[in-house]
A and B are shown apart, each in its own frame.
Chain A
Amino acid sequence: MSFVLSEDQQMLRDTAMAFARDEMPVAHLRELRDGGANGVDAEMRGKLAELGFFGVLVPEEHDGVGLGMVAMGQIMEAQGRTIAATPLLQTAVMGASVLILGGSEAQKAEWLPKIASGEVSVAVAVDEGTHHAPLNIATEAERNGQGYTLNGAKRFVTDGHHADVFIIAARTFGEAGQAHGISLFLVPNDADGLSVQALATVDSHGAAHLTLEDVALGEDQVVGAVDAGWEVLEPALDRGRIALAAEALGSAQAAFDMTLEYLQTRKQFGQLIGSFQSLQHRAAKMFTELELTRSCIAAALSGVDEGRNDVAELASLAKARASDLIHLVSNETVQFHGGIGMTDAHDSGLYMKRARVQEALLGGASYHRDRYAKLNGF
C-alpha cells in the first residue's frame, strides 16, 4: 500500500483542487439549485471532459489516460470539497469500471472512448429498495428468442435523470438475495418501455426512479457473463464506494476548514469562540477522525491499483469510516456556526444535505460494518 502520491498524481490533485475552487465553487451549486437545474450542468460536463477527468480509469488503448484509482480519488476529493454535482462517480468510476471489468472487446471499443471523451454519461442502476442491498435484485430479465425482456424498477438512481445510457442489474436466474443469476444490461435512455421519473433531492444533485416495462434488449447488450454479473458488479461497486468515500473526505475536510475559520474569527463574551475548551476538544477529535479516515481512503485507492485481494474489506473500511466522518463533521459544522448555520444563506446546511446522500449511497456505515465483519469471519 502506498500513502504518498507520485508526481503525476500530485499534479492531477493540484489541477483538480484548483478547478473545483475556481470553476465549481459551492456558489455554483446554489446557482444550479436556484435555477432549477436539478444538478444537471452540461457546460461543466464539457469542462471536466476537456480536463480528461472522465478518462482517468479508461486504458490508453480506449482513448483514456489509465491513471488508476489513486488519481481518480484526488479528483473525487476535490469535487467533494465544493459538493459539486458532476457525473464523475457514475460515469467515470462506476460505468467505466463495469465496462473495463466485464465488457466484451466490442463493447469496450464502442463505449469506453465515448466515456473518456465525456460524450456519453452512464448511470449504473442497482438498488430497488430504500437501502443499499445490491443482492436484492428482483428486476427480471426474461430470455426470449432474440434476447431479453426486462421488467422491474430501480430507485434513486443518481444521474438517472440525465444519463445517456444505463447499466441495469437484473435477474436472469434465481431470486432476490442470491448473487448467482444477476446479469448486467446496457440500456440506452430512449429504450422503449423505459420511463425515467426525475427526483428533486435534498442535496440538489437530483436522481431518478426508473421503471422498466417490457424493455426489449439484444444479446449484445449483456455486459459480462449471463448469470455471473455479480463478479463484475461487486468490484465495480467497490470502486464506486471508495471513490465516494474520497468525495466525502473532501466534503468533510472543507466543512472542517470552514468551521475552523469560524472558530478563529467569531467572538462571544469578548473572546474568540475557538478559545473555548469545549469547542477545542471537539475540533481536535474531528481532526483525529479526519486523519484516521484519510489513511483508510488512501489505502483503499492504492489497494485497487495494486490489485490487492482485500479490496472488498478496504472498500467497506473506507466507506463506513467516511460515512461516519461526514455525518459527524456536517452536524458539528451546523452546531459550531450556531444560528447562521441554520440559514439557507450559509453553506453549512448544503454540506449536511449532501452528507446524508453520500452516506446512504452504495451503503451506509452500518451496511459496511456488517460486510466488514462478515469478511472477517464473525
Chain B
Amino acid sequence: MAFDAPEDLDEFRTSVRDWLEENCPPSMRTPMKDDEIVWGGKREAFKNPESKLWLERMGEQGWTAPEWPAEYGGGGLNKVQARVLQQELRRIRARPALFSFGLWMFGPALLEFGNDEQKKRFIPDIVKGKTRWCQGYSEPGAGSDLADLQTKCEDKGDHWLINGQKVWTSYADQADWIFCLVRTDKSVKHEGISFLVFDMETEGVEARPIKLISGSSPFCETFFTDVKVPKDQLVGKLNAGWTIAKRLLQFERSSISAGGFGGTGGSGILPPQEYAKQHVGVDETGRVSDGDLRARITDHLMYAQAFKMTVQRSTEEAKAGQEVGHTASIMKYAAAKMNQDKCELLVEALGTDGLGWDGDGFADDAKKATRGWLRSKGNSIEGGTSEINLNVVAKRVLGLREHQ
C-alpha cells in the first residue's frame, strides 16, 4: 500500500483504519498478557498464533518502525502520518506487534552511523522481527565507568578476534545477534573503543543467565573466547565507537523513560490507591484511612502526572523547533524514581499480601507486585545509574565543572 499524497491526512487515516480493521486479529485488540509479548528472532515461540500473524502483517507494512526509510523495509511515514498510525492503533487498543532492542536502540543508531550495506543487511530483519538483538555494553569492571571496558578486539587481517566478558547483557540467551563495544586501542580510553556486531551462534560465544533477587533472569553474563568476526561487521570507523555508544544510550534512556522499565508490574496490577482502599480501608468520607500512606500515594500520583506532562511538553517543544537539550537524562532519572516509588507503594498498600513469593496462598497480581518491586530496584542502575544521570544533568545541562 502506498500513500503518495501525504497532505491528504484524512484519506491516509481512512486507509490505515481499513487496513487495521482487516488485518489486526481479534486477540491482538485485547490487553497484552505478560507471556504473549513478542520479542521476535529465531527462538520466538509465538505462544498466541495470532501474534505471529500480527507481526508478519505489521512487519510487511514496515509499521513496526513507521518512520524508518522504506528502502530498508521501514514504514517510510513522516511524523504526522506516524502519529495518525499511532492514534489508530491506540483507538482499537492494538497490542504492540514487537518488543525489540533492535527497534528501540540498535536500529536508530545503525541508521545514523552504519554504511548502506549494513543498513540493507540488518534493518529489514529488525523491522520484521526476524532477528533479535542484544546489547554488549557493561563488563564486570566497567559499569558506570563504561568507557573503561576491556573486551579485547584484535585485527587479524581478514577478521577481528574478540576475547573478553560482558555482563548485564539483556536476554543474551535469547538473542540472535549482539551489538557490542570492544577495545581496539589500549593506549587511550574513549578513543580506543569500537562498535562491532556479530552472530551469537559464532564459535566461542557463551551466554549464562543471571538470576536476580526477583527470581527472574532477564540478564546474562556473556563470554567471548577467540570469537572471529568478519571485517565488514564494524559499524562506523575504527576507534570511533564511543560516539555511537553514547548516541545509542540516549535512545536507550528515552525508551526507558517512555515506559520500557522492568518492574512496572505488568498486566493485572491495580494502582496503589485501589489496594490501599481494599486492604487499609476508608473512613466515612471515602478517604483511605491511613492518612500518611494516602498522602504518599497522592504525592506519587502527582509526580507521575507531572512526568507524563513533561514528556508531552518536550515532544511539543521539539516539534515547535525549540531547544530540548538533554531531557533524556532528566527523564531517565525521574522515571526510575517514579517507578520505584510506585512499586514500594504497591507492596506497602498490599500489606502482608504483598509479601508472598510463590504458591496458591497469594493472588497472582499480588505476587507480580512483589516480584516487580524487587525488579524495580534495578531501574536506578540499568541504562546508566541515577547518580550517573545526575552527573550528566549537572555537567551538560547546568554547565557545572568537573572536580579537578
Chain A interface residues (CB < 8 Å from chain B): 1-4, 260, 263-264, 271-272, 274-277, 280-281, 283-285, 287-288, 291-296, 298-299, 317, 320-321, 366, 369-370, 372-374, 376-378
Q: Verify B400–A263 contact, CB threshold 8 A.
A: yes
**A287 engages B277 (CB within 8 Å):** no
> Are B334 and A292 touching (Cβ within 8 A)?
yes
Determine which of B297, B309, B322 lies in contact with A373 in the assembled complex, contact meaning CB atoms within 8 Å. B297
Give every chain B residue within 8 A of A295 (Cβ-Cβ): 306, 309-310, 312-313
Q: In whole angstroms, what is the CA distance A49 to B312 when docked?
A: 35
**Overall SS of chain A's interface:** helix
B295-A366 in contact (CB<8A): yes
Across-interface contacts of B401 in A (CB, < 8 A): 264, 272, 274-275
Evaluate contact between B306 and A3: CB separation under 8 angstroms: no
Alpha-carbon separation in the docked complex, A195 to B391 (Å): 56
Q: Are B317 and A4 in contact (CB under 8 A)?
A: yes
Is B390's CB under 8 angstroms from A284's CB?
A: yes
How far in angstroms is the closest Cβ of chain B from A93?
22
Is residue B393 contacting chain A, with contact meaning CB distance below 8 A? yes
Asked if B398 contacts A284 (CB within 8 A), the reply is yes
Given contacts A277-B391, A296-B309, contact A264 B277 (CB under 8 A): no
Question: A298 contacts which of B277, B307, B313 (Cβ < 8 Å)?
Answer: B313
A287 to B299: give the CA distance in the assembly, Å. 18
Asked if B316 and A275 sit within 8 Å, CB to CB, the answer is no
Interface SS majority for chain B: helix
Check if B295 sits within 8 Å of A4, measured CB to CB: no
> Which residues of the partner chain B approach A377 to less than 8 Å between Cβ atoms?
273, 286
Instruction: Please state if A373 and B287 are interface contacts (CB–CB under 8 Å).
Output: yes
Chain A positions within 8 Å of B295 at CB level:
366, 369-370, 373
Contact B313 A3 (CB under 8 A): yes
A298: chain B residues within 8 A (beta carbon)? 309, 313
**A165 to B320 alpha-carbon distance, docked (Å):** 43
Which of the listed residues A283, A284, A294 has the most CB atoms from chain B within 10 Å of its own CB?
Answer: A284
Q: Is the CB of A280 within 8 A of B391?
A: yes
Report, nearest first, the 4 A-B pairs whose CB atoms are least far apart.
A280-B394, A284-B393, A3-B313, A295-B309
Tell whether, in the assembled complex, residue A378 and residue B393 are in contact, meaning their CB atoms are under 8 Å apart. Answer: no
Q: Are A320 and B287 in contact (CB under 8 A)?
A: no
A339, B52: Cα distance in complex, Å: 67
CB within 8 Å for A369 and B403 given contacts A3-B317, A280-B391, A295-B309: no
Docked Cα-Cα span, A281 to B334, in Å, equals 13
In the bound complex, residues from chain B placing their C-beta under 8 Å from that of A284 are 330, 333, 390-391, 393-394, 397-398
Task: Give the CA-CA distance A85 to B358 in the complex, in Å.
Answer: 61
A-B contact pairs, 20 of them (CB 8 A): A1-B309, A3-B313, A260-B399, A271-B404, A272-B400, A275-B404, A277-B391, A283-B400, A284-B398, A287-B330, A288-B330, A288-B333, A291-B310, A292-B306, A292-B307, A293-B306, A320-B302, A369-B298, A373-B288, A374-B287
- Report yes or no: B403 in contact with A292, Cβ–Cβ below 8 A: no
Interface residues of B in 271-310 (CB under 8 A from A): 273-274, 276-277, 282, 286-288, 294-295, 297-299, 301-303, 305-307, 309-310
B276, A321: Cβ atoms closer than 8 Å: no
B232: chain A residues at CB < 8 Å are: none
Which residue of chain B has the shortest Cβ distance to A281 in the bound complex? B390
Whether A317 touches B393, Cβ cut-off 8 Å, given contacts A281-B387, A284-B398, A287-B398, is: no
Partner of B277 from the list A276, A281, A369, A378 (CB cut-off 8 Å) is: A378
Q: A376 is contacted by which of B273, B393, B403 (Cβ under 8 Å)?
A: B273
**The one of A2, A271, A283, A320 that contacts B316, using a Cβ cutoff of 8 Å:** A2
> In the bound complex, do residue B303 and residue A4 qualify as a contact, i.e. CB atoms below 8 Å apart?
no
Q: Known A-B contacts: A3-B309, A3-B312. Give 5 more (CB < 8 A).
A: A272-B401, A275-B401, A321-B302, A376-B298, A378-B287
Chain B: interface size category: 35 or more
User: Known: A263-B400, A274-B400, A281-B387. Contact between A292 and B310, CB under 8 A?
Assistant: yes
Does B201 sit at the interface, judged by CB under 8 A?
Answer: no
> Within the complex, which residue of B286, B322, B394, B402 is in contact with A378, where a contact is CB–CB below 8 Å?
B286
A349: shortest Cβ distance to chain B, in Å? 24
- For A274, the closest partner residue in chain B by CB is B400
Interface residues of B in 312-357 (CB under 8 A from A): 312-313, 316-317, 319-320, 322, 327, 330, 333-334
Closest beta carbon of chain A to B219's beta carbon, Å: 27
Report which residue of A280, A293, A369 has the largest number of chain B beta carbons within 10 angstroms of its beta carbon: A280
* A100–chain B nearest beta-carbon distance, Å: 27
Contacts of B294 in A (CB 8 A): 373, 378
Interface centre among B276, B295, B298, B401 (most CB of A within 10 A): B298
Q: Tell me the nearest residue of chain A to B308, going by C-beta.
A: A295
Whether B288 pairs with A378 at a CB distance below 8 angstroms is yes
Whether the Cβ atoms of B306 and A296 lie closer than 8 Å is yes
- Inter-chain CA distance A300–B20, complex, in Å, is 36
- Which of B319, B322, B330 is the most central at the interface, judged by chain A CB atoms within 10 Å of its CB? B330
Give the nearest-CB partner of B386 in chain A: A281
Most buried by A among B310, B399, B402: B310
A291 to B294, CA, bound (A): 25
Which residue of A has the minimal Cβ distance to B273? A378
Whole-angstrom distance from the CB of B283 to the nearest CB of chain A?
11
Choose from B274, B282, B400 the contact partner of A275 (Cβ within 8 Å). B400
Q: A4 — which chain B residues lie within 8 A by C-beta?
A: 316-317, 319-320, 322
Whether the pair B303, A264 counts as a contact (CB closer than 8 A) is no
Asked if A373 contacts B298 (CB within 8 A), the reply is: yes
Closest Cβ–Cβ distance, residue B395 to chain A (whole Å): 8
Q: Which chain A residue shows the least CB distance to B307?
A: A292
Specify which chain B residues have a CB less than 8 angstroms from the CB of A317 in the assembled complex: 302, 305-306
- Residues of chain A lying within 8 A (CB to CB) of residue B394: 280-281, 283-284
Residue of A nearest to B295 (CB): A369
| Shortest distance between the CB of B34 and any CB in chain A (Å) | 27
Please state if A378 and B310 are interface contacts (CB–CB under 8 Å): no
| Cα A263 to Cα B319 with chains together (Å) | 33
Nearest CB on B from A245, distance (A): 12
Closest residue on chain B to residue A5 by CB atoms: B320
Q: Which residues of A contact B397 (CB under 8 A)?
A: 284, 287
Say yes or no: B317 contacts A283, CB within 8 Å. Answer: no
Give bound CA distance, A294 to B398, whole Å.
Answer: 17
| Per-residue contact bits, chain B 361-394, to A (CB 8 Å; 1 contact, 0 not) | 0000000000000000000000000010011011
- Tell me the smallest distance from the CB of B342 to a CB of chain A, in Å: 15
Distance to closest chain B CB from A172 (angstroms): 25
Chain B, Cβ-Cβ closest to A316: B302
